[in-house]
Amino acid sequence: MSLSFIHVEDLEYFPDERMKGLASLKRVDIRDCPALRYLSPWILYLTSLEDLYIFDCKEFEGIKWPETPSLTRLRVLQLLGLPKLKNVLPPGIQHLTSLEALRIIECEELQVSNDDSIEWQALTTLRFLYFNSLPQLVSLPWGLQFLTTLKQLHILYCRNFTGLPDWICKLSSLETLHIWRCPKFKSVPASISSLTSLHKLEINGQDMNPREIHELSCSASATGELDTSTASGSRSWKILKKFRRLQLCNK
């Protein structure tokens, strides 16, 4: 069972007490609702909700999580085009014990890097994390290092993102790391060599010094794609064996 709100001009908050009868609802899709400001604590009644999408709601400020456990079955949360959103995962996130995929796109005011209130370590089932067009993202949130189940990390069009932290090596299940069009991104820490599950690394669209790409211990067979046009003759490239796809471009 799914419920969609598309261009509902007078929808200021959702849900309300009428949602008590929708306990079987599995998907909610809210798009282009210009008056929507927040999701209310009544959301706790949507006990079967698995997918939640909020797109292009220009006044949306956040989710008012109830103190009691809620959305324990939520698997996918996607937020796009929310210019006033400042806090995506306030206290109450610890109840999202089934969340597998989180996508955050075009949220200009969202503070992620320095928001210590986000209890990332509570997301013990998160496998897919996608950041796109977040100008406030300078570095990865410290709490992400506890996401040992994370398999894919994508960072795209984050113009102030500077680099990966040394603790990236703690993401022991990480298989795919994709960084695209982050002009201030300059380096990969040597600790990345501890990511033994990593087999797809893509760092595209910025000036990448090949001397900053270290030998990865996860190597062992197969070829990949390399644009070495800016590193001709450099001896700093290590043999990278295990990657199914390796792409380092300066385009």
Residue 222 lies in a domain: no
- In this predicted structure, the answer to whether residue 226 has a pLDDT above a threshold of 70 is no
The rounded distance, in Å, linking the Cα atoms of 107 and 84 is 7
User: 87: Cβ–Cβ under 8 A, 6 or more apart, which residues?
Assistant: 62, 110, 111, 115, 117, 118
Residue 72 lies in a domain: yes
157 compared with 17, residue with greater pLDDT: 157
User: 164: Cβ–Cβ under 8 A, 6 or more apart, which residues?
Assistant: 140, 187, 188, 189, 192
Residue 17 lies in a domain: yes
220 compared with 198, residue with greater pLDDT: 198
> In this structure, what CATH number is given to the domain that contains residue 151?
3.80.10.10
The tally of domains found in the chain comes to 1
Q: For the residues 89-107, what does the mean pLDDT come to? A: 84
Write out the E strands in the chain.
2-6, 13-14, 27-31, 38-39, 51-55, 62-63, 76-80, 101-105, 128-132, 152-156, 176-180, 200-204, 245-248
- In this predicted structure, the answer to whether residue 117 has a pLDDT above a threshold of 80 is no
Residue 239 lies in a domain: no
What domain range is 116 assigned to? 2-161
Are 200 and 176 spatial neighbours (Cβ–Cβ below 8 Å)? yes
What is the structure's pLDDT at 127? 98
Confidence of residue 238 (pLDDT cuts 50, 70, 90): very low
Are 37 and 9 spatial neighbours (Cβ–Cβ below 8 Å)? no
Residue 204 lies in a domain: no
Residue 189 lies in a domain: no
Q: For the residues 212-238, what does the mean pLDDT come to? A: 39
Which among 39-48, 104-113, 205-214 has the top mean pLDDT? 104-113
Residue 61 lies in a domain: yes
